[in-house]
Amino acid sequence: MRLDIITIFPEYFDVLDISLLGKARRAGLLDVHVHDLREWTHDRHRTVDDTPYGGGPGMVMKPEPWGEALDTLVPPQDADRPDPREPGSAHEPRPSGAAPSGKDSMAGDGATADAPPPDTAAAAASGSADSPGSPAGTSPPSQEAEASPSARVPRLIIPTPSGRPFTQADAVRYAAEPWLMFACGRYEGIDSRVAEEARTRMPVDEVSLGDFVLAGGEVAVLVMVEAIGRLLPGVLGNADSIADDSFAPGAMESLLEGPVYTKPPVWRGRAVPDVLLSGHHGAIARWRRDEALRRTARTRPELLKRLSPEKLDDRDRAVLREAGFPVDGEDVAD
């Protein structure tokens, strides 16, 4: 997966070189490119903001730098190639055109700003290409990547308090994308015309981490990148652990994960529940399910409204009744 991140604070993303995501980058599972928005400004102060039309406090990020950044990383193309990820979308441009120098602070090992775009990669390999390079840090794609129409355009994700909530389901969906681009807003946000114009040539999602406001989009992007990146095949040491995550599709959908324990079996007089030491896998699974239901009822009761009654068995219903959440409908689960 390729990630492009546009920000006025590129150093914010140095943390993506450590821990699981750092290992994923070094293993070639995650190709991260961070771009400084100020590289697309043309005044001595490298200005990216201005006062809002209509008055009011704060500043708004100017559309010109954002427009030039997106034009460079995802050049406009004709309207005849729909994006297969967005039925009815008007455009599907290829990622070609050289990015301004000095912008990609996290290009993959051995990558250069002069790598050929997808449509000239094969020619460049034979020494016959002389067209401009692709976005900074792009390595020549394989024939399989070139053949995949979904890899020609990124999905642009803009974190904003006014966006729809980002959920685990979004993380799962985004993890299946070949190319994501993040736009980190600051101040009062990005001029709304930027998202409007971008939608004419790529999928655009405006998402929120919750009902609170941050100083900028960088923290939100870090959260989303980690939530998405850990779902990529090969990133986690044990892929099965994803199935037990809170909110994971399947048995844990709309539920919080219950308590977890490790050695020693007794610590400061507090013992691990006997069932977890029993070796009885069925009983352990049932205990974990019960605890997930209880914890969700206690701390996030609104999530229980999303449970499908037909997927609850008699034990589930009994646990929920004890927790004060009787479930209507007939039992159809085993």
Residue numbering of the annotated binding site for S-adenosyl-L-methionine: 185, 209-214
Instruction: Please provide the size of the chain in residues.
Output: 334
Structure tokens at 84: 């297969």
Alpha-carbon span 111 to 34, nearest angstrom:
13
Q: How far apart are CA 281 and CA 122, in angstroms?
A: 53
Detail the residues annotated as belonging to a binding site.
185, 209-214
Q: Kindly report whether the peptide bond that precedes residue 76 is cis, defined as omega within 30 degrees of 0.
A: no
The span from the CA of 79 to the CA of 82, in Å, is 7
Q: Which of 276, 163, 138, 140 is nearest to 220 (CA)?
A: 163
User: Residue with structure tokens 């900074």?
Assistant: 136
Confirm if 10 and 2 have CB atoms less than 8 A apart.
Answer: no
